[in-house]
Every structure is written in structure tokens, then in C-alpha cells.
Structure 1
């Protein structure tokens, strides 16, 4: 099969999930989003589960590419200020160019609640965040125990739905109306016990 067309269909599936949610993910909708003849998606992904798998694999690839780009060749942020800037950049991506990927990923997580095979496929993406944030804390010279890494990871994951909906009052109440300040405050709170 043509890999470029397959990737185009997977990108279209991600776009459909982001725009219409899980209920809107159909072969016909993917064909339309990819601007290919009707029936093309069905040839590449014969079932809805195959479409879900393709979209999940694409989301995971995009996430890994973003993580690699943010990490670059450097060992990690050298201090708390650099880590805060990196975290704010991640959150800006969620609210900006990464929004479709993240919306699709959240739709896939909801589908995974009823499909164990999909949960197993997505689990490494979420699980890797805990180790990644522990590494970033340590690289920045901050306390990096499992508890702090979990707190940081879960706080960032918890911020995502609020950023996606963009409700101004909620963003202000959560401190997400200023992502630089939010990231600095989050790190200060996560590492507060070490500063006492």
C-alpha cells in the first residue's frame, strides 16, 4: 500500500476526531477530510477499529516528534527558569498548533475506556510523561522524586482540558491565562518542600 496515502488518511482521521469527536469518525468522513475518492479509507483501514488504531498510532508519532523537537540535542533544561519556559511552550502548543492532535488524543482516550486494545496502544504515550518530567526536573537541578514527577505530570495533564476549551474565567481562575507564570508557579509548588 502507498505509505504517503496511508499517512494522509491517518492525518485525516486525527483531524476528524478533533473536529467532530469519536462519533464522527467514519470512513466517509476520513475520505472527505483527506480529499480522496470514497472508499479509499475503507481500503486502507477496513474497520472502524482499524481507523481508531491508525489515528492512535499517528497521534503517538506526532507526540514523540514534538517531544524530540523540544528536547533537541541538549541534555535538558539547565535550571528552573529554562524548565518553566519549556513547560509553558508545551502548554502553548496544546492551546495552539497542537490542539487538533490533543483533542484527537483525548477522544481516543475516551474510546479506550471501552476498548482495552486501544488503551494498551495509548498507554506508553501517557506513561512516558512521568519519566520524562522526572528527567526534566533532575536536569534542571530540582528535586525529581517519583512523587514530584507525578504531581507535575498530573497538574500539566489536568491543565489540558481547560486550555482546549479556552473559557476565560476558568483559565484566569486556574492561572492559565498567563502560561509563563503558571509554569513558574507550578514548579515552585511542586518543589516547595525542598526549599524549606
Structure 2
């Protein structure tokens, strides 16, 4: 099978998940999003479960391609995490929406949970290493707390409710990260 077409269909599946949610993910919707003739997605991914798996696998591949900067100090870590938060509500919005949809689907499909668990484990390891590189007194618990707090911020950023963002401090990305690091690590 044509790998380029396969990847294009998997990217389209991610777009459909982001735009229409899990219930909107159909072969027909993926074909339309990819600009392919009807039946193309079904030819590559015969079932809806195969389509979900393909989207999850593609998310993992794309995640592995993300540059992993190493912060030189605490302030660089603040900027790195604030940029991540800004990206979640901006250019990375579509991929993150799809990823959250896949997490909901993974609650009922163990094969998806395995792929998403691999992504999460890599994310926790990267965040821990970034905190260590920034010179913070890292423990596994502290690093996990920071990572979980950043992950927990994503749905609120995606929803974009002004009152929620203000109440959580997410209307100021750098301030949110500074407060988080202060809460976990102290001044």
C-alpha cells in the first residue's frame, strides 16, 4: 500500500477527531477530509477500530518528531512550558483535541490505551529531564506533579472559557508555570 496515502489518511483521521470528535470519526468523513475517493480509508483501515488505532499510531509518530529542548535554567523551563501551553491553544490545538478524543476512546479500547500510555510515559520522562536540566531539586513525585498539572491545563485551554482561564491563572501562561514551579519546588 502507498505509505504517503496511508499517512495522509491518518492525518485526516486526526483532523476529523479534532473537528467532529470520536462520534464523527467515520471512513466517509476521513475520505472527505483527505480529499480521497469514497472507500479509500476503508481500503486502508477496514474497521472503525483500525481507523482509531491508525490515528493513535500517527499521534505517536508525530509526538516522537517534536523537538525536545533542554532548558538551561528555571527561567528557560518557564518559557518552554509556557510555549507548550500557548501551542496547545494555538497551532497544536487540532492535534491535542484529537489526542484527548483518543484518550476517551482508550477507556474502552485497551489497544489504544497501550499506544497512548507510551506517549504519556515519554512525556513524563521528558518533563522530568527538563526539570532536572533546569537545576530544580527533582524527585519523581515532584516531576510528575508538574507534568500532570500541565496536562490538566490542556482541556481548559482548549475550551477557552475566559473565567476559567482567569480563575486558574491560565490567562497568563508564564505566570501559571512560575506559580506551579513555586508550589512544587519553592522559590
Q: Secondary structure at the match of 1:143?
A: coil
* Counterpart selection for 2:172 from 175, 178, 186: 178
Q: Secondary structure at the match of 1:15?
A: helix
Q: Secondary structure at the match of 1:117?
A: helix
Tell me what 1:111 maps to. Answer: 105
Under a length normalisation based on structure 1, what TM-score does the superposition of the two structures give? 0.93
Q: In the alignment, is residue 133 of structure 1 matched against residue 133 of structure 2?
A: no
Offset from partner CA, 1:106-136 (integer Å, 9 cap, x none): 1001001011111112111112222111111
Shift of 1:70: 3.8
Tell me what 2:14 maps to. Answer: 14
Under a length normalisation based on structure 2, what TM-score does the superposition of the two structures give? 0.97
Shift of 1:11: 0.5
Tell me what 2:185 maps to. Answer: 191
How do residues 77-156 of structure 1 correspond to structure 2 at under 5 angstroms? 77-156=71-150
Runs of 4+ aligned structure 1 residues displaced above 6 Å come to: none
Assess if the C-alpha contact under 8 Å between 1:163 and 1:171 holds in 2: yes
Gaps of 5+ in 1: none
